[in-house]
Amino acid sequence: MGEDELTVTNPHDGRVVGVGSVPTPDQVEQAVGAAHAVRKEAAALPIHVRAEALDHVSRRLSERAEEIAQLISAENGKPIFWARGEVGRAVATFRFAAEETRRFSGGVQRLDTEAAAAGRLAYVSRQPYGPVLAVTPFNFPLNLVAHKVAPAIAVGAPVIVKPAPATPLSSLVLGEILAETGLPAGMFSVLPVPNDRAGALVEDPRLPVVSFTGSGPVGYAIKDQVPRKHVTLELGGNAAAVVLADADLDWAATRIALFSNYQAGQSCIAVQRVIVEEPVVEAFTSKLVAAVENLVVGDPADDKTQVGPLVSVEAAERVEQWVAEAVAGGARVLAGGGRDGATIAPTVLAGVPDDAKVIREEVFGPVLVLQPVASVDEAFAAVNDSKYGLQAGVFTRSVEVAFRANKELEVGGVIIGDVPSYRADQMPYGGVKESGSGREGLRSAMEDFTYEKVMVLTGLTL
């Protein structure tokens, strides 16, 4: 047993979802010590052992899918529709990791391109840095954990998960499933310690890799705290969707309405800024507002609910305040704007001042801002006018504009013909500017957790 109880409540109705234990300092030390002790054994695990463990997790998540979806929905208020989707993605994430494990092998390079290196051959492999500290957020309490745990196991690195205090239960269930695999003791641990105790884990020299997903200020504080560690950061954004005059307006309105408000806007690639070319502003705005007003808001346990509560009343109050500040500065509310407990009605704003928080910062709530522009040039400049650069969506039928967007937009991913919220779990994912450093997506994360090592063979007949 731990030293304190950890009570998890449902953001929608306040009911107790589960009670866990906060690990004692001795238990934390035991977990870190075990990860450090097993690091060489973990790195030497045969490929098939790692891959079979990952396949097992994928299979068990699939078998327990409804149970785990209900748990996700209860602990963070995510509508069950989206929670089921998250479990399905986690199933795929572990499956992709198993596949990449089997492909992730060394390569060779002949060095006799110069006379001085005749008879020499380089074998290039990738070796894990060592145990990974995975600090994970509340908004995807299973799949964003999977994106750290799966690649760590794939490369033979022990991993310690420090879940968000609001949503530890999904991580603990994942730990139960990992315990079924037969991976060596110390290969994985879940430590639901409070945030004010996480600093000691971050600083521990036995954990050479820190993989963090969450807010920018916390992420950069970690990087400043341990500048000599290998730190990967998946941070925030204020994702833009560009709607050009040649776009399918019905499709764009439907997708933007839904993906500004999915997860109650609590996604770093939820649509926040909607940049619309002037010839279609009026027609598109009416379609968008109608689509937003048609979204089903309510109890996350209801299959029909598309928009549920934020993770807490405090989070909703902050979003409400940001909307009020924008309105005080001259913004117009075209839809929504109200709050009921932890739930914010899906909100559309127009005429927002350029310096308002709902444009400059990450809202992390169900709020989108309409910004008219005169041309493609202005649209792309507006996307780039942000300290963030995670993903952007561009609704256009023009292949030329698509390639131009890929070249000019200062983001880690450009989604053509859809919202910036699209993510395939096997693709590279991450941002530029203040949206972070490093990449997720299984192979990309596996490379992030490892370094290249070269062995040169001499005196060979090539």
Q: What is the secondary structure of 193-254 as a DSSP string? A: --GGGHHHHHH-TT--EEEEES-HHHHHHHHHH-TTSEEEEE-----EEEE-TTS-HHHHHH
8 A C-beta contact, residue 381 and residue 354: no
What Cα–Cα distance (Å) separates residue 216 from each residue in 212, 268, 312, 433? 10, 11, 20, 11
Q: Which two tokens stand for residue 368?
A: 């989108």
Q: 68, 291 in Cβ contact below 8 A?
A: no
- The rounded distance, in Å, linking the Cα atoms of 230 and 370 is 39
Distance between CA atoms of residues 146 and 140, nearest Å: 10
**Residues 209, 229: Cα–Cα separation, whole Å:** 6
Query: CA torsion 221→222→225→226, rounded to 10°?
Result: -150
Q: Is 348 helix (H, G, I), strand (E, B) or coil?
A: strand
Catalytic: 268? yes
Q: What are phi and psi of 30, to 5 degrees?
A: -60, -40
CA separation, residue 205 to residues 130, 152, 249, 384 (Å): 10, 18, 53, 38
- The CA distance from 59 to 127, in Å, is 27
- The answer to whether residues 207 and 131 touch, using CB atoms and an 8 Å cutoff, is yes
Tokens (6 digits) for 265 = 């806007």
Residue among 75, 86, 100, 234 flagged as catalytic: 234
Phi-psi sector, 156: left (phi>0), alpha (psi -120 to 50), beta: left
- The rounded radius of gyration (Å) of the Cα atoms in the chain is 23
Q: What is the DSSP letter of 263?
A: G
Which one of 86, 268, 320, 440 is the catalytic residue?
268
Residues catalogued as catalytic: 234, 268
